[in-house]
A = this chain, B = another copy of it.
Amino acid sequence: MRILVVNSNTTPSVTERIGAAARAMASPGTEILAVSAPFGLPLIVTRADWLVAGPATLAALADHRGSYDAAVIACFGDPGLDAAKELLEVPVLGISEAAFHAACMLGRRFGVVSFTAALRPMFEECLAHHGLTARCAGFRMGPAFSGDPGTVAEERLELLAGLCADSVEQDGAEAIILAGGPLAGLAPLLQPHVAVPLIDGTQAAVRLAEAMAGLVPRSPRSHRVRALTGFGPAVTSLYAAR
């Protein structure tokens, strides 16, 4: 099986880290192809960023169309996800979507932990969009952060362990989602200090994409032909006849 993992931003180092996390969790026999968005923004933060990241993500999915059995959109907020599910013949999962569903399957209540409260609004909206707000036991976030995202995971490891403990003991979390790009890959380091399973969105997405690809190999969804202008040929072809 082949899974395309799309980093919705244009930063190659992030794509590499995401690809490594995906490969570490893929089943034997699953090949991971990790690509960056071909255009757009180096970092996706706000709703305005998501808007342009959507077509950029779709472009990556279109560029490699036909070469994968399932795809993962590796950007919290899942830009382009709903359109991709509609246009592509294979399952497409977002990493936030995957984290939420995996957490629900592990226990009744999940916590969300991250290093800075500034990310909370985005996570709340994403959770509401996926309809699972009622399953969330609460958010535990660190204070404002203005340092290097590349090293925040290590710098704030103790803080994060404490937030996870609060999530379990105060909020009753039975699984915890580590949220935010800079925490990717942190789960194995933190797990020994935490009493419930920790969930990494990219890794959950890879496992669930494998599952869905087997369950529904090719979507029978009907297709409407539309003449799109203003986007590149690959995206345009997604809207044209199959």
**Chain A residues engaging chain B, CB cutoff 8 angstroms:** 10, 25, 27, 38-43, 45-52, 54-56, 58-59, 80, 82-83, 85-87, 91, 93, 97-98, 101-102, 104-109, 117-118, 120-122, 124-125, 128, 130-135, 137, 144, 169-172, 174, 191, 194-197, 199, 203-204, 207-208, 210-212, 214-216, 219-222, 224, 226-231, 235, 238-239
Contact = CB atoms under 8 A, between A and B. Distances in A.
A114 B144 CA distance: 24
Given A101-B101, A196-B221, 4 more contacts: A45-B224, A55-B55, A102-B212, A195-B220
B219 A197 contact: yes
Contact of A220 (B59, B101, B194): B194
27 contacts: A38-B230, A40-B229, A41-B227, A41-B228, A42-B226, A43-B226, A47-B108, A48-B86, A51-B58, A52-B228, A52-B239, A82-B108, A86-B107, A86-B174, A101-B101, A101-B104, A102-B211, A105-B208, A106-B219, A117-B170, A118-B169, A128-B134, A131-B134, A196-B219, A203-B215, A207-B214, A211-B211
**What number of copies of this chain does the assembly contain?**
6
Contact of A40 (B42, B120, B132, B230): B230
A79 to B, nearest CB: 9
A41 B121 CA distance: 32
A80 B55 contact: no
A219 B106 CA distance: 9
User: Which residue, A124, A131, A135, has most C-beta atoms of chain B within 10 A?
Assistant: A131
Given A105-B97, A106-B91, A215 B134 contact: no
A6 B125 CA distance: 26
